[in-house]
Chain A
Amino acid sequence: MAWTEKILRVNLSDKTCKEEPLNKEWAQQYLGQRGLATKYLVEEVDPKADPLGPDNKLIFATGPMTGTMASTGGRYSVITKSPLTHCVACSNSGGFIGQELKNAGWDMVIVEGEADSPLYLYIENERAELLPADEIWGTSVWHTDEWLHKRHQDPLLRIAAVGRSAEQGCLYSAVINDLHRAAGRSGVGTVMASKNLKAMAVRGTQGVGNIKDPKRFMQAVNTAKKVLADNAVTGQGLPTYGTQVLMNVINEIGALPTRNAREVQFEGANEISGEAMHEPRPSDGKPNLVTNAGCFACTIACGRISTVDKGHFSVKNKPEYWGASGGLEYEAAWALGTDTGVDDLDALTYANFICNEDGFDPISFGATVAAAMELYGRGVLTTEQTGTPFDFGSAEALVKAAEWVATGEGFGKELGLGSKRLCEKYGHPELSMTVKGQEFPAYDPRGIQGMGLTYATSNRGACHLRSYTVASEVLGIPEKTDPLTAEGKPALVKAFQDATAAVDSSGLCVFTTFAWTLEDIAPQIDAACEGEWTAARLLEMGERVWNLERRFNLAAGVSGKEDTLPKRLLDEPAATGPAKGLVSKLDEMLPEYYQLRGWSSDGEPTPETLQRLGL
């Protein structure tokens, strides 16, 4: 059955930890992780609730594949109402804590209420307790991790924590687990800190043995692993170059948002690319990249482990940053580099370390710095306000901004508001590259048209991981489509959204879908879980999850009017590259998308659609 069928409910106000049975009926409708936890959130949280108040809840959820032998079966998600977007937030992470939670015997942990003093949650199999965290409040994720390992004298303890940025109210703070894996987007860490919950430390030794048909499961798992190994992308491309190999690809096709999306190509792209990470540095002859790394059970291993040049200004006299740590992924390198115009690989790597150390989303951070740089360039912000010259291309400004957001000092407090609130505060909302309050990532909708519809309709605000049409429009997976046309994109976006929601509910990593389809995933879930799980059923479940999220957002007051893009992408044509002269054709795509979804022209699911999906 793969589910442990147990939920841990933690009430911070009462300081209680209680076991309750998993709702098995809901598990049949929503599978696990993103889908199932969203169902609990929708049933238990008022959509109008203050995201940072005691009525909001924070759910750590595994999927039925989490902790199993399935490749990439180590994922978990953090689900809550976002303080950044006021939409449903669901941030997915790898590493090892997801499987540890499952091995401790829990499908999910629902955290409610608010503690009157800092606490951390300690879980050792069935035993769960809330312990004082006063000593680690006001310290970084990395310090917290070390302190908890020492405190419990257990090197195998898995830890998820928030850093000082979250405590200081930065609206895009992350939950960091295993030092440098992140449930990164939408401010889920900010919610955790608002509840005075510093960390969750987990030790699980029970195994995940409740597989429906173990023999068939292992056969399905082995068959699927071979598909990943034999595929050139998942077998070779991702392990060798990681996601960062995209920097030159997206630059070449003219869809790389540059300097707050004023341009679509960056002259410094190759300096901060995946290829550059492999090149020996002049100073010590060592490359930025030390090795690749894999999360639990992963047979792809796309993760990057990097170092910063010891002589670089960012780490001079700071030996604590001379070791190897989580390196740049493509989205982070884009936000910290391309979007700010900074082509200094060491500065980007250091800023990325700080994002991990004190727990904040590098995409939202980098894009907010970019917006601030544009405000500065226009004379709206002055050096007196920013604390340092804040020009596009300034590695010094980027590094200082990261350090300030980490601790909430100086201009860091304003940068912690995110791009939308910062630009509104200074009278230029049009300069914020956000949808529903969340900063968009590394693909310009003028050059990849499907991504415009993806950003506009994403249920968690602008995001690439809700329907990664780049796979089709640029990389030709599963088949090549033209990135410059709107034709066919509404159906493509819907298909990607529904399939991704299914994968995100399983405990598997969405990167498997560069090689797997739902036809590869379904046999694994079907062999492990009660009920008959076909690809068609998974796709329908994904559509149900999408509509459930949409209904929560509508009830929260986020209407179809917010299914739009920043004015710049709709009105200012790309100046160079294949997309020269083009703007996003969102107006062509959105009505057709609503129709395909079975939604009204206002973007609300019709009664027939809700009935068809059992909502």
Chain B
Amino acid sequence: MRITLKLFASLSGHLPPSARRNEAEVEVPDGASVQELLDRFKLSREQAHLVTRNGVFVPCSLRGEERLEPGDALAVWPPVAGG
């Protein structure tokens, strides 16, 4: 299945060459977890500080069990803040 992976701020270097600016369409096995995708793109727990799936926060504790679905958008940020 295909999902959209969005890596922001200092993480954009982890995207595949096909990426346009901060996002890329990636093929993932059916039933893959959020954590499996993060591991595949070599995103450590410290780097993957803020993770959202379709805009909804995915806490660290649930990344292993939360399964991706076709068309999902997974977005990842390192520690950032603003205001």
Q: A residues bordering B, Cβ < 8 Å?
A: 231-234, 236-238, 240-246, 248-249, 252-254, 270, 274-276, 279, 329-331, 464-465, 468, 470-471, 474-477, 480, 482-483, 510-511, 514, 577-578
Contacts and interface: CB of A to CB of B under 8 A. Distances in A.
Contacts of B59: 480
Contact of B57 (A241, A243, A244, A480): A480
B8 A236 contact: no
Contacts of A471: 81, 83
Contact of B82 (A243, A270, A275): A243
B83 A252 contact: no
Nearest to A231: B79
A238 B81 contact: yes
Contact of A246 (B21, B22, B49, B82): B82
B82 A244 contact: yes
Contacts of B54: 578
Contact of B12 (A275, A470, A510, A577): A275
A249 B83 contact: no
B9 interface: yes
A246 to B, nearest CB: 4
Given A245-B82, A511-B83, 11 more contacts: A236-B10, A237-B80, A238-B82, A243-B81, A244-B82, A248-B6, A252-B52, A470-B83, A476-B57, A480-B59, A578-B54
A408 to B, nearest CB: 30
Contacts of A232: 46, 49, 78-79
Contact of A237 (B21, B22, B81): B81
Contact of B81 (A233, A480, A577, A578): A233
Given A245-B9, A253-B55, A275-B9, A477 B22 contact: no
Instruction: Give 9 nearest A-B pairs by CB, closest first.
Output: A243-B82, A232-B79, A246-B82, A237-B80, A578-B55, A245-B80, A330-B82, A233-B81, A514-B81
Nearest to A578: B55
A252 B6 contact: yes
27 contacts: A231-B79, A232-B79, A233-B79, A233-B81, A236-B79, A237-B81, A240-B10, A241-B9, A245-B77, A246-B80, A248-B6, A248-B8, A249-B8, A249-B80, A249-B82, A252-B6, A252-B52, A253-B57, A254-B55, A275-B8, A275-B12, A275-B22, A468-B83, A475-B80, A477-B81, A577-B55, A578-B54
Contacts of A331: 83
Contacts of A578: 54-56
A243 B81 CA distance: 6
Contacts of A483: 57
A159 to B, nearest CB: 26
A92 to B, nearest CB: 12
A591 to B, nearest CB: 28
B24 to A, nearest CB: 13
A274 B6 CA distance: 15
Nearest to A443: B83
B5 interface: no
A186 B42 CA distance: 46
A443 to B, nearest CB: 9
Interface string B27-65: 000000000000000000010011010111101000000
A241 B80 contact: yes
Contacts of B49: 232
A476 B82 CA distance: 13
A270 B9 CA distance: 11
B52 A233 contact: no
Contact of B83 (A237, A330, A476, A577): A330
B68 interface: no
B46 A249 contact: no
Nearest to A248: B8
A237 B79 contact: yes
Nearest to B8: A248
B50 A270 contact: no
Given A237-B9, A237-B79, A249 B50 contact: yes
A547 to B, nearest CB: 24
A516 to B, nearest CB: 13
B21 to A, nearest CB: 6
A465 B78 CA distance: 23
Contacts of B82: 238, 242-246, 249, 329-330
B50 A476 contact: yes
Greatest chain A CB density within 10 A among B46, B56, B73, B80 is at: B80
A169 B73 CA distance: 47
A240 B9 contact: yes
Nearest to B75: A252
Contacts of A233: 79-81
Nearest to A254: B55
Contacts of B57: 253, 474, 476, 480, 482-483
Contacts of A240: 9-10
Contacts of B80: 233, 237-238, 241, 245-246, 249, 475
Contacts of B12: 275
A540 B40 CA distance: 49
A61 B22 CA distance: 43
Nearest to A475: B81
A218 B8 CA distance: 37
B28 to A, nearest CB: 19
B59 to A, nearest CB: 7
Nearest to B49: A232
Contacts of B77: 245, 248-249
Contacts of A468: 83
A482 B55 CA distance: 12
A350 B66 CA distance: 44
Contacts of B8: 245, 248-249, 275
A413 B29 CA distance: 59
Interface string B16-27: 000001100000
Nearest to A242: B82
Contacts of A465: 83
